[in-house]
Structure 1
Amino acid sequence: MDQRHLTVVTGGSRGIGAAVCARLAADGHDVVLGYHSDAEAAEQAADTVRRAGRHCLAVRVDTADEAAVDHLFDTAAGLGPVTGLVNNAGISGPNGTLADADTAGLRRALDVNVLGYLLCARRAVRDMTRTGGGAVVNISSAAATLGSPGQYVHYAAAKAAVDALTVGLSKEVAAQGIRVNCVAPGTVWTGFHADPQRPARVAAAVPMGRAGRPEEIAGAVAWLLSADASYTTGAVLRVSGGL
């Protein structure tokens, strides 16, 4: 009998997260979708999963809060052993130069983009160690190596931390049957951007001449969670149109 797949996706209500949920459902995953505030969008994403014939729960969560993360995973455990985590919840924080950034905005961005990933990965590893292994996919960004000067260097720094988390944790938990990988998107058409037209504006700088689509990122995530990637861990898979 094939293994049942149950995957927790944080930031699953919109953009890349919603596309990941839909793709995983098509690939046979049950999904627990974590969202921060947009309950309507979360239910729409959950309905997409259910229409594919899979189970889905939408759970409000602040991933930077330890108790909220535990509640998310405790809820997921009600459906069975968690076999996958997609660490996707993130915020840009202040846009502009670092010199003009406010401390509260910087702190919140680091809490969500770094501490949130650490808390979710920690809980996933604890659960997967007890239940026979699994896979974690962290969503990073091409910003981790490009630096995003003049826009959000703090976000780029946070994503560089995600890359380091991926490499280090993959080595730490490989013997427990847990794979840890990372997808680093370039600019993608989502509501993440402060300027909705930014993906169009940056297209000329992308070797492929366009921004990416959420579904293209979801395909990379799905592969890393699949049996086809069974010998892949510690990888940072760049999906950025050549940047």
Structure 2
Amino acid sequence: MEKEPIIALDFPTWEEAEQFLAPFEGEELYVKVGMELYLQNGPFIIEQLKKRNHRIFLDLKLHDIPNTVGQAMKGLAALGVDMINVHAAGGVDMMKRAVEGLQAGTKEGGKRPILLAVTQLTSTSQEAMQADQLIQVPLKESVLHYAQKAKEAGCDGVVCSVLEAGAIRDACGEDFYKVTPGIRLKDGQADDQKRVADPAEAREIGSTMIVVGRPITKAADPVAAYHHVKALWGGQAE
């Protein structure tokens, strides 16, 4: 599986994203397009990134009634992105319909996008989960439950924190994707993330893919920061 970090393009406009990507000319990256960038700019963003041969994780975290999510996924599949996600809290039926929608919308001969289910956001602490969601089990137990339901529904994997990746691997198998945001460097700030780890820890614990935003996008030299993170993630640096 992929051993390069996914860069979170957390920008409001294509112009800012394009300016960030310019120094990477000639490199084929894996990038994440979230709600901020996609909802303000639409499919144009995907078209521009595909022209540059970047792989794309479309991070929209859909959560609605099963029919709505299924139909939305059918349309989004036509964009040709590589990975997309829903909220596991939407339930097994919703996740199943998401899979069906992606299959129906994928062009003949094409590859269906990888479907992930978001377990608990990496900005959520156990205290916040229990107070705001009235989920009284430990946070790790909640995440593991969502992961098992996602696998039951036919999803390819989950979005989780590094701290839960090992337990999900043990419960759902090595091939079940564990995509982990909340990646920070040891000398960096956690910002609004609560459950964080560095790239080397993510590799050791069992993440399949890592998503890295501000440690790269806000770095003085983003290209150097990217290659440093990539080396840590691939085990070529410590």
TM-score category of the 2 structures, normalised to the smaller one: 0.3 to 0.5
TM-score, structure 2 normalization: 0.39
TM-score, structure 1 normalization: 0.38
